[in-house]
Structure 1
Amino acid sequence: MPEPGRRRAAPSKGDLREAKLLEVLEELLAVKSFDALTTNDIAERAGLSRASMYFYFSSKQEALVALFAKTVEALHEKSRAAADDPAAPRDAIATALRRTRERWHEHGLIMRVAIDQSSAIPELGALWMETADIFIAAIATILVRAGVPDEEGPDGARAIAGALCWMIERTFYHASAVSPAALDQASETCRVVWLRAAGIRP
């Protein structure tokens, strides 16, 4: 935190170039598959030489990991906020899904690409598992508050939360590739399933 009365330092030229490279990568993925994309494509679109890009990222894979990390950082924050939400479980569920849906609306393409590449790029898989673990913990917290037993076993809150998390991930993954309207509908379906799992009438 900056000291009171002192201005936060402006981003350096290097920070701005790195941010530009990530922005360009996201733009290019909208028109070109990751496998077909080259580091030269990214550098040229960003107005840099390939050698200059290597100063920031050694490969397109490293750039994708950085972009995905930036994307899921907000999901981590929103999931932790869901666990701490003092609202009634019904409202907490609606808020958690709304926030998650918004992230998929904004960056669904990046999340789909990262999920698709996670078997080839272990860092992506690790980031996504970390994200899932945080979301599962939040779901479990809300389920327990709704009366689901906080115990081990297939009918315990943690196990049910895990099933809900991966259901939501797959549902949002497919719907986000179709249209915003499909994602909205998928989010509503996930809300109903989560409510029923929590023993709350939709």
Structure 2
Amino acid sequence: MPGKAVRRRSGAPSKGDLREQKILEVLEDLLAVKSFDALTTNDIAERAGLSRASMYFYFSSKQEALVALFARTVEALREKSRAAADDPAAPRDAIATALRRTRDRWREHGLIMRVAIDQASTIPELGALWTETAEIFIDAIAAILVRAGVAAHDAPDGARALAGAVCWMVERTFYHASAVSIEALDQAAATCEVVWLRIAAIEP
């Protein structure tokens, strides 16, 4: 009808959504060749084909863009962790699946995850995102440990305490290995699986 605006199809990204996505993709690409500290907002805007003013319409700083990129990255980790907690498979298989999914995410986005972890001390939002994500993973690890027969009490040898140790072991191990090579990351995942199985009293 004349004078009636055409409604965008539900689910179709707007131009603004696509530009924001482009900025985040550009940021991740630039971090492969330039440190975050050396990177400028103008670098991001130029690579994305935007003016500096247009860049500020979407993100007020490179820090804000990094937070958005990291949030997008860890959301998949959260989903996979929730899936691990609900995995009906035997504990051995659930552990293997959880570590494989986590390893795959580090394979795809290890760089941005390392940068975000490094910047977390100066950008509180990054630290909060990572801590929240870790808590979801800890819940999943604890659930699997309990199903494997580990006591659910609050003592140091209880499932929750052990799950926390496993979570941060995986984080540090994957952090370092992902900076070396895919092969190193695969080896790290295999080693973490052995440790997790032994904590669960399952023969590797």
- Output the TM-score relative to the length of structure 2: 0.95
Q: What are structure 1's unaligned runs of at least 5 residues? A: 1-6
Amino acid at match of 2:45: A
1:172 and 1:9 mapped to 2: Cα distance?
35
1:10 and 1:172 mapped to 2: Cα distance?
36
Q: Paired residue for 1:82, among 81, 84, 88? A: 84
Q: Paired residue for 1:196, among 180, 195, 198? A: 198
Q: Does 1:144 align with 2:146?
A: yes
SS at match of 1:136: helix
- CA displacement 1:58-90 (0-9 Å, x = unmatched): 000000000000000000000000000000000
In the alignment, which residue of structure 2 is the partner of 1:48?
A: 50
1:9 and 1:200 mapped to 2: Cα distance?
45
| Greater than 4 Å deviation, 4+ residue runs | none
SS at match of 2:13: coil
- CA displacement 1:153-199 (0-9 Å, x = unmatched): 10000000000000000000000000000000000000000000000
Q: CA deviation at 1:110?
A: 0.3
Please report the RMSD computed on the Cα atoms of aligned residues, expressed in angstroms.
1.0
2:45 and 2:24 mapped to 1: Cα distance?
10
Q: Does 1:116 align with 2:98?
A: no
2:52 and 2:127 mapped to 1: Cα distance?
27
Q: CA deviation at 1:125?
A: 0.1
Q: Does 1:171 align with 2:173?
A: yes
1:92 and 1:9 mapped to 2: Cα distance?
33
Q: What are structure 2's unaligned runs of at least 5 residues? A: 1-8
1:42 and 1:29 mapped to 2: Cα distance?
10
In the alignment, which residue of structure 2 is the partner of 1:67?
A: 69
1:189 and 1:177 mapped to 2: Cα distance?
17
2:123 and 2:62 mapped to 1: Cα distance?
11
Q: CA deviation at 1:8?
A: 3.3
2:11 and 2:203 mapped to 1: Cα distance?
51
SS at match of 2:156: coil
- Matches of residues 12-23 of structure 1 in structure 2 within 5 Å? 12-23=14-25
